[in-house]
């Protein structure tokens, strides 16, 4: 296998490729290691394109029961191609490359998961997913070992997307600038539903590259919103005032739905900002997985928002995400996914589950050692929601459990109330293999649930040093120093 990989990535093979001359000319300024890395990514991209095209052609033959999973895979295969294509941009940093490759790998895993959730056999034409995944893993390993693909951005330099300066974005968040679109239930705006405003903004993107602002007036919007855009800001009138709500779930339907498809709001793209909005799924604990928000956008920011549900409330699927002064409500795995996500000064509210259930705040899904993904909670508060508080002594509540082999979650400088079980963390299942490979850490937490003397004795659990904790800050985990200042959202 190693010999095959060497031959695939050797310069002689590059030269013999039908596009070899062009490849050699466009990468002449790169070192041998960088050219090898670029070729690994190109191989993964080519395989992903073939998989996408074959899947779109073959999925008509899939069983009707797998329609939801097939829809997921169609969307995710296209997203994978886009993520890998971005990796070939010469200005991509190591953080960019690891993020986008991790997102591509997560997409393919999500595709597989959908069929498993529906208890449907994976169609034969999906077996090529394994090959694509391995090529992406090879690329991740190359990036982790060798660093930048091209020229690294200087420290503090804003990405190219920052068409509007930071002051203008701050004014937008403070509602001191005119909105491009207004949504109002009472008919006083440009649209009576959010989806209409989003569609208009996406269409208008052809005419302008500047950030567009949608103001959503107070009201309860019963709709399912799908956003695939860049440079878009949504501002509501505040938590509990501007509410987007739905009730899709894997048990209650409608039809056979995957967890991926239950989201009330689904966001893709990049540089999305939301403030003052409640994202809600009312399916209830008896209907199991029911997502309020699914976010796959890179450089996504949620400020003073609320996420309300039970199992699987907040699906931080992939890429870089930041949450500030938000509320998150749920029961089982209610913050889950494989993003690099930082939550600062957020309130985490475990709710009352069904009688035989335990609460787990997180289920982080890192599945490859080279992925740069993790969940970091800083200056947050974990305390019982009003429905759990009277009975919290009868319900075990844990900080998290490992969804995948290399799951990473860190809780630091946060207040943990007495509802947290002394063990702190829970195994995913009886096998418990991930306890040897995960990375769970705590640092300088306070409150009655912060005592670590009774914590699990797993090899992967750590009481962090200051140096360890610094690797999970905004600056280190999501490269926030290079892009968050321009958003106008405060961060530490």
Give the chain's length: 492
Q: How far apart are CA 483 and CA 160, in angstroms?
A: 10
Q: How far apart are CA 81 and CA 170, in angstroms?
A: 34
Element holding 21 (H helix, E strand)? helix 20-26
Element holding 16 (H helix, E strand)? helix 11-16
CA-based max dimension of the chain:
70
Catalytic residue, from 333, 368, 417, 479: name it: 333
Element holding 86 (H helix, E strand)? helix 67-87
How crowded is the C-beta side of 382, counted as CA atoms within 13 Å? 34
Backbone angles phi, psi at 221, to 5 degrees: -105, 105
Could you give the 3-state DSSP secondary structure of residue 138? helix
Judged by phi (left if over 0) then psi (alpha if -120 to 50, else beta), residue 240 lies in left
Give the pairing of strands 408-412 and 461-463.
Answer: unpaired
**Cβ neighbours of residue 72 under 8 Å, at least 6 residues apart?**
110, 111, 114, 258, 260, 261
Closest of 415, 417, 411, 408 to residue 378, by C-alpha: 411
Q: How far apart are CA 202 and CA 59, in angstroms?
A: 28
Q: How far apart are CA 38 and CA 31, in angstroms?
A: 10
Q: How far apart are CA 97 and CA 72, in angstroms?
A: 24
**85 catalytic residue (yes or no):** no
DSSP 392: G
Q: Which residues are catalytic?
A: 333
């Amino acid at each position: 296998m190693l010999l095959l990989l060497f031959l695939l990535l050797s310069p002689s093979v590059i030269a013999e490729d039908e596009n070899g001359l062009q490849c050699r000319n466009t990468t002449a300024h790169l070192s041998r290691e960088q050219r090898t890395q670029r070729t690994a990514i190109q191989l993964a991209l080519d395989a992903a394109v073939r998989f996408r095209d074959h899947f779109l052609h073959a999925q008509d033959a899939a069983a009707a029961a797998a329609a939801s999973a097939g829809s997921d895979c169609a969307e995710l295969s296209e997203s994978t191609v886009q993520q890998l294509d971005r990796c070939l941009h010469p200005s991509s940093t190591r953080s960019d490359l690891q993020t986008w490759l991790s997102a591509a790998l997560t997409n393919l895993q999500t595709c597989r998961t959908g069929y498993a959730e529906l208890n449907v056999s994976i169609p034969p034409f999906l077996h090529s997913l394994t090959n694509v995944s391995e090529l992406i893993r090879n690329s991740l390993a190359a990036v982790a070992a060798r660093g930048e693909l091209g020229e690294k951005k200087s420290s503090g330099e804003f990405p190219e997307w920052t068409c509007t300066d930071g002051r203008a974005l701050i004014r937008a968040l403070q509602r001191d600038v005119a909105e491009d679109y207004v949504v109002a239930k009472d008919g006083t705006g440009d649209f009576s539903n959010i989806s209409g405003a989003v569609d208009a903004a996406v269409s208008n993107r052809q005419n302008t590259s500047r950030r567009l602002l949608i103001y959503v007036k107070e009201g309860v919007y019963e709709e399912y919103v799908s956003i695939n855009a860049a440079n878009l800001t949504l501002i509501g009138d505040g938590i509990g005032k501007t509410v987007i709500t739905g009730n899709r779930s894997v048990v209650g339907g409608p039809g056979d739905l995957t967890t991926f498809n239950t989201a009330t709001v689904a966001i893709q793209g990049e540089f999305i900002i939301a403030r003052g909005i409640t994202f809600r799924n009312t399916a209830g604990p008896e209907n199991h997985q029911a997502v309020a928000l699914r976010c796959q956008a890179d450089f996504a920011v949620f400020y003073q928002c609320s996420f309300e549900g039970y199992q699987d409330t907040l699906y931080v699927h992939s890429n870089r995400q930041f949450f500030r002064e938000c509320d998150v409500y749920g029961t089982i795995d209610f913050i889950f996914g494989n993003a690099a996500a930082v939550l600062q000064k957020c309130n985490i509210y475990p709710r009352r589950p069904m009688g035989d259930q335990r609460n787990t705040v997180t289920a982080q899904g890192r599945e490859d050692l080279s992925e740069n993904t993790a969940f970091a909670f800083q200056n947050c508060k974990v305390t019982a929601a009003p429905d759990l508080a009277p009975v919290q002594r009868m319900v075990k509540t844990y900080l998290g459990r490992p969804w995948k082999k290399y799951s990473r979650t860190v809780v630091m400088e946060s207040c943990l109330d007495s509802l947290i079980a002394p063990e702190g963390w829970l195994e995913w299942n009886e096998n418990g293999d991930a306890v040897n490979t995960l990375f769970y850490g705590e640092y300088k937490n306070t409150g009655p649930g912060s005592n670590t003397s009774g914590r699990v004795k797993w090899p992967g659990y750590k009481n962090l040093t200051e140096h360890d904790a610094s690797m999970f800050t905004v600056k280190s985990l999501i490269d926030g120093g290079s892009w968050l200042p321009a958003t106008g959202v405060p961060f530490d």
